[in-house]
Amino acid sequence: MGRTSKDKRDIFYRLAKEQGWRARSAFKLLQADETFQLLEGLTRAVDLCAAPGSWSQVLAKRLYEPLPPEEREKVKIIAVDLQGMAPIEGVKQLRADISKESTAEAIIEFFGGEKAQIVVSDGAPDSTGMHDFDSYVQGELLLSALSISTFILEEGGSFVSKIYRADRTSRLYTQLKRFFKNVCVFKPSASRNSSIEAFVVAREFCLPDGYKPCNLTTEWHDQPESWVGRKKESPPVVQVPFVAYKGELDSDRTYDLGENYVYKEPVQQPLTAAYQDILQKTSQVNIKYEGIRVIHDEEMLKKWLENDENKSEKLGACVT
Amino acid sequence: MVLISDAFGLEISPNGILVGHGDQAVLYSSEPKVELPVQLREGKVRGFAWSSLRKSQRLLLLYSENEYSLIRCTTSSENDLFQLVYEGETRDWINAALFLEDENESEDRKRFVLHTSHSALLYMEYDLTSNADCTVLELARCTDSSILYYTKLHGSSFNKLAIISGNAFGELLVWQTQFPTESDPKSVMKTYPLLLRIEAHNGVIHSIEFDLQSQLLVTTSDDRSVKFWNIQKSGDWTTAEIKPMFSCYGHSSRVMCVVILKIDDRTFVASGGEDSYVCIWSSSGELILKRRQQFGAPIWRLGFSQDAEILYSTSSTGNLVGQNLKEVLNRPKIESTILSSLGDANEFVRNLKFVNNEIIVGLSSLNRLYYTRISPDSSHENKWLMVNDFPSYKRTVLEVFDDIIATCGHRRITLHRYNTNTNDFEQLFDGIRMKGTIRSFQFLSRDRYLVSDNLGYCLLLQTHQLHIESHIALFNNREPWITAALLISEQYLLLGNREGHVMLYCRSSASDDFQLKDSIRYLHGKMGSNFFKLLSLNADNAHVMSGGHEAFLKYLSVRFSDSTLRVSQREGIPLAWVEASPSDDLILGFNDNHIVAWSRRNDILLQLACGGGHRCWDFRLSDGDSQLSIAYVKQKRVYFYRNSLYNAVDNRLKDIEPNNWHVRNCNTLRLITPRNQSDPFILSAGDDNIIKVTQVTNDSLSQRAEMHSHISTVRSLQAIPYKSNGGDSSTWLVFSVGGRSQLCISQLSIDASNKCWISEISSHTLHNVAASKTSTIEARLMAIDVVQHSDGDLFSIYVAGGDGNISHYIWELETPNQLDLKHFVDIQRCPLGIQWIASKGMLLVSTTNGEVYGFDRTLETTYFQLQLHVTGINTIDIYVDRHLLHILSGGDDESIKYTVLNLNNNNVEQKIEYLGLHNAQVNALAIHCPTKSVAASELFAYTCSIDRQIYRIDLSTHKYKRVGYTCIADVKGMLLDEHQRMYFYGCGLQTMSISNIL
CATH of the domain at B263: 2.130.10.10
End-to-end CA distance of chain A: 36
Task: Determine if residue A122 is labeled as part of a ligand binding site.
Answer: yes
Question: B343 and B370 share a domain?
Answer: yes
Q: Is the dihedral of CA B469, B471, B474, B478 positive or negative?
A: positive
Tell me the residues of chain A between 163 and 182 that have a Cβ less than 8 Å away from chain B: 165-167, 169-170, 173
Pairing of strands A76-80, A91-94: parallel
Evaluate if residue A318 carries a pLDDT over 60. Answer: no
Q: Write out residues 12-41 of A within 8 Å (CB-CB) of B.
A: none
* Same domain? B702 vs B817: yes
Contacts of A123 (CB under 8 A, 6+ apart): A48, A49, A138, A141, A142, A144, A145, A161, A162
* Higher-confidence position of A280 and B385: B385
Predicted pLDDT at B736: 97
Query: How far apart are the C-alpha atoms of B679 and B2, rounded to whole Å?
Result: 14
Q: Assess whether B273 and B339 both reside in one domain.
A: no
d(CA B931, CA B421): 76
CA distance B532 to B530: 7
Task: Look at B141 and A140 and tell me if their CB atoms are within 8 Å.
Answer: no
User: What is the amino acid identity at position B592?
Assistant: D
Could you tell me if residue B534 is inside a domain?
A: no
Q: What are the distances in angstroms from CA B328 to CA A225, B105, B282?
A: 53, 44, 12
DSSP letter string, A70-90: GGGGG-EEEEE-SS-----TT
**Considering chain A, what is the average pLDDT of its residues?**
87
Residue A319: pLDDT band (50, 70, 90) is very low
DSSP B510: T
Contact (CB, 8 A) for B310 and B332 = no
Question: Is A278 close to B224, i.e. CB distance below 8 A?
Answer: yes
Which residues is A244 bridged to in the sheet?
Answer: A187
Q: Give residue B756's region: left, alpha or beta (phi > 0; psi -120 to 50).
A: beta
Whether residue B40 lies within 8 A of chain A, CB to CB, comes out as yes
Residue B198 falls within a domain, yes or no?
A: no
Q: Any residues with CB less than 8 A from the CB of A118 and at least 6 apart, and which?
A: A38, A39, A42, A44, A45, A46, A153, A157, A158, A159, A160
In a domain, B714, yes or no: yes
Name the region of B411 (left: φ>0; alpha: ψ -120 to 50; beta: rest).
left
Residues B887 and B985 in one domain: yes
**Is A55 known to sit in a ligand binding site?**
yes
Q: Do B637 and B339 touch, CB atoms closer than 8 A?
A: yes
Does residue A212 belong to the interface with chain B, where contact is any CB pair within 8 Å? Answer: no
How far is Cα B599 from Cα B605, in angstroms, rounded to an integer? 7
Please indicate if the annotation marks A250 as binding a ligand. no
Q: How far apart are CA B224 and CA B275, in angstroms?
A: 10
Bridge partners of residue B824, in order along the sequence: B807
Of B330, B352, B367, which residue constitutes the final position of a domain?
Answer: B330
CB contact under 8 Å between B146 and A99, yes or no, is yes
Is B168 within 8 Å of chain A by CB? yes
For the annotated catalytic residues of A, the residue numbers are 162
- Would you call A140 and B117 a contact, using CB atoms and an 8 Å cutoff? yes
Q: How many contacts does A have with B, using Cβ atoms within 8 A?
A: 331
- Contacts for B690 with CB less than 8 Å, ≥ 6 apart: B572, B662, B706, B707, B708, B710, B714
Neighbours of A2 (CB within 10 A): 9
Q: Confirm whether B341 is domain-assigned.
A: yes
Residue B655, Ramachandran bin (φ over 0: left; ψ between -120 and 50: alpha; else beta): left
DSSP codes of every residue in A238-296: P---EEE---S--TTS-----TT------SS--S--TTHHHHHHHTTS-TTTS-EEEES
Collapsing DSSP to helix, strand or coil, B181 comes out as coil
B908 touches chain A (CB under 8 A): no
* Structural domain that includes position B939: 877-997
Same domain, B675 and B801: yes
Q: Could you tell me if B682 and B792 lie in one domain?
A: yes
CB atoms within 10 A of CB B577: 18
Domain shared by B723 and B761, yes or no: yes
For A107, the enclosing helix (H) or strand (E) is: helix A101-110
Residue B196: inside a domain: no
The predicted-structure confidence for A221-253, as pLDDT tens digits, reads as follows: 988 988 989 887 788 889 899 999 978 799 898
Q: Check whether residue B675 and residue B730 sit in a common domain.
A: yes
Per-residue pLDDT at A316: 43
| Other beta carbons less than 10 A from residue B511's beta carbon | 8
Mean pLDDT of A156-177: 93
Whether the pLDDT of residue A150 is over 90: the answer is yes
Instruction: Tell me if B576 is assigned to some domain.
Output: no
Residue in A228, A254, A288 nearest the CB of B803: A254
Q: How many helices (H) and strands (E) does chain B have?
A: 2, 83
Confirm if A94 and A53 have CB atoms less than 8 A apart. Answer: no
Q: Does B738 share its domain with B882?
A: no
How many structural domains compose chain B?
Answer: 4
Cβ-nearest to B88 among A228, A233, A272: A228
pLDDT single digits (tens) A16-54: 998 999 998 999 999 999 999 899 899 999 999 998 899
Alpha-carbon gap: A75 to the closest alpha carbon of chain B (Å): 32
- Rounded Cα distance, B496 and B126, in Å: 72
Given CATH 3.40.50.2020, say whether it is the number of domain A6-244. no
Q: Is residue B429 part of a domain?
A: no
Q: Please tell me the distance from the alpha carbon of residue A163 to that of residue A169, in angstroms, as a whole number.
A: 8
**3-state class of B898 per DSSP?**
strand
Splitting chain B (998 residues) into consecutive groups of 10 residues, what average pLDDT does each group show? Answer: 91 88 89 86 92 81 93 76 90 94 68 93 88 88 92 90 92 92 84 92 92 91 93 88 92 93 87 94 88 90 88 93 77 70 86 91 92 73 84 92 92 91 89 92 91 92 90 76 93 91 90 89 89 92 92 91 86 90 92 87 83 78 86 89 71 74 92 83 94 86 88 92 73 93 92 82 79 59 93 90 93 88 89 92 93 92 92 93 90 93 89 89 91 65 94 90 89 88 93 84
> How far apart (Å, rounded) are the C-alpha atoms in residues B78 and B75?
8
B603 and B692 fall within a common domain:
no
C-alpha B276/C-alpha B795 separation (Å) is 42
Question: Does any CB of chain A come closer than 8 Å to the CB of residue B85?
Answer: no
Are B670 and B791 within one domain?
yes
**Closest listed residue to residue B454, CA positions, set B415, B411, B486:** B411
Instruction: Tell me the shortest Cα–Cα distance from B574 to chain A, in angstroms.
Output: 13
Nearest CA to CA, how far is B305 from chain A (Å)? 18
